[in-house]
A and B are shown apart, each in its own frame.
Chain A
Amino acid sequence: MSEVCAKGATMDVNLRIAGEAGQGVLTTGELLVATLADMGLHVFSTQVYMSRVRGGLNSFDIRFGEEELFSGRRQADILVALTKEALDALGGDVREGGVVFFDGDAKGGAVGITFTQTAKEVAGSAIMANTVAAGAVFHCLGYDVKNLESYLAVAFKKKDKETIEKNVKCARRGAELAAAAEAARLAAPKGVGAPKTVYNGSEAVGLAAATAGVKFVASYPMTPSTGVFTYLAGAADKYGVVVEQAEDEIAAINMVCGATYAGVPAMATTSGGGFALMTEGLSLSGMLELPVFIFLSQRPAPATGLPTRTGQEDLKFAINAGHGDFARAVFAPGTLEEAYALTRRGLGTAHKWQSPVILLGDQFLVDIRKNIPVLPDQYNPIDRHIVEGAGEDYLRYEVTESGVSPRAIPGGNAFVVLDSDEHTEDGHITEDLEARVRLQDKRLRKGEGLAREALAPTYYGAPRAEEILVSWGSTYGPSREAVDRLRGQGRSVGMLHFAQVWPVNVEAAHERLRDAKRVIDIEGNATGQFAGILRQLGVIGGCGLMLKYNGLPFTGEEIAEGVAR
């Protein structure tokens, strides 16, 4: 168990299910994640998939243990290969002494269990091959198959009893077949009372938006942002939200501008290419001073890039997108809890400062599935900072010290006038160049306020560490695991995580980084975009760079090895 019981880490098991798109990899994964969480284990799962509806190679990693986990792991302890292609491609990434199941005859070191055939025999349906596989896995781990049964009963509660019974039979049969094939039994972690509620990143963002009072969503589907869009569509009836599939991203952003003008919190979800189409509208929201909120879920680029993979390549784009100078804030959550909290904070910030706010996620983050404490699902709307009772002398763009003008919405006594042209305080078009300067200065003063409120980066690790890793967004988890591993090796290591990447809290960042002997920036892009920003701001001078842009997320062990090398 050398890999499993790495120094400084407690025991955890990495289970990998792989097959073609459409084979039920996701269903099996979800079944196992929910069951393991229900058993009180800490679960962390990730997905890797190809951009296709059928065929190809998709995999679902479920890592579980007795302590909270924050990252995936390269090697699997158990591989469930549903196709020969999966076996050939991933069989080499199973640790010495691990178990490989193959849906077919025994092959090489793999235990052959005909999951599909068995499901057909037992239940008369190939669909339940997943449940047969889950049963076999549970046998290897020494877990009682009853745990699967209780989850199945809950998951299928809407279906007929017969379906549940058939699934239970399949799970039991899977365990029996694994026993008969003398599949190895692995040491397995025990339940420790971990939270039972499982969320993925998309759900965390979507739930936060719905509870914060987002009433209108306009998006064009684009991987990997579609999960949030889909979640909100599903939650729309419960929370009273209009979710509209726009004809394109240009329409989506202009709709969000319109809805916020009329007074309802609104958002769009998109990825890099779609966000590129939104940039004129983003600039419009800066000029009109509308609280526009965009969830930008990143994937490798340029252009279409790797549509279903992960990357952190749109940071500079998010910070600079749109023509002209205008204030904005950009948040980048690193965990599911942070995704929830920053969605809410982002919406609040947008409304307080009447400025666009972007939440940066990526495929890795939205597809993380993990059991965490319950996220509040009560409707708890944010303050829209709307003034009541504005009269006929109302000036939408009254010049103020903070740059924030009282915001009224149409329908009351005041005429609310907005113009994308430069305008005077009343909102009407002007070419008075003094007014231009006065209004532009007013708008940009909001940037100063946003900077004063910028979140300080969070620190984790050894007090006053000699080596500090810098992370932003989804590299938080893998970096955190790396810190634990490296400290386990006796190194003085810490990490500084930026959940707000614009404006940067320069003072707090500098305070943490100035005494470090070595700073290593960890990023999912090829050029070290955030390191460049920190250098520009004078937060750091030179620093080490650990960059990954092959479409896969970092793992904790990979970062630890890189730092130690």
Chain B
Amino acid sequence: MTDINLLPPKFKRLEAIDRRLPQAWLWLGIALTSLLMIMITARVSRQNLIEQSARLSQQITDRTAAAQFDELSAQVKSLANLAEEYQQVFAKNRVWEEMFTYLEQTVPVDTAIDAVTSTADKQDYIVTITGTSADRRSIGLFRESLLTYKSQPLQPERVSQVVIESINADPATGRQQFSLKLTFDLNPKTASQ
């Protein structure tokens, strides 16, 4: 049934507003329900986050995880040691190479080198050179040349001491057998202190 209304327009407006009032309550109800649903969803999500966080925390404090971490840490240390050792071997090889070159250049013509050996401790790196020479004077010259030797790989260390450990005459050949000891100070600061 189509309704007509012959009330003055201002009353019809009031009536229309009044008609909308129950609808306003309906919309308010929908809005409140939606808000409630959002709050419930947020609460559930928050609870899930808390549970996940608790599980992670448990995993972190787990002894197995700690043991795995220790093992891994040990492996890393071991790798670091290997690298250090490699560096030392590499450096040692370079020391030898350079030293042989220097010895070849500086050894007097009437002097022959029989053996070069090395030992090292934390403080010193010691090289022992044995050989024969025609006379003692050449051995002295050889020792002096060795005093100025500076090892590039062991920078800034240099020969701190060259000692003639022994000189013996060989009656059979008439040549002088000698033994020279070069000492490199590996820890000059400690030495200076």
Q: Do A and B come from one complex?
A: no
Interface residues of B (CB under 8 A from A): none
Interface residues of A (CB under 8 A from B): none
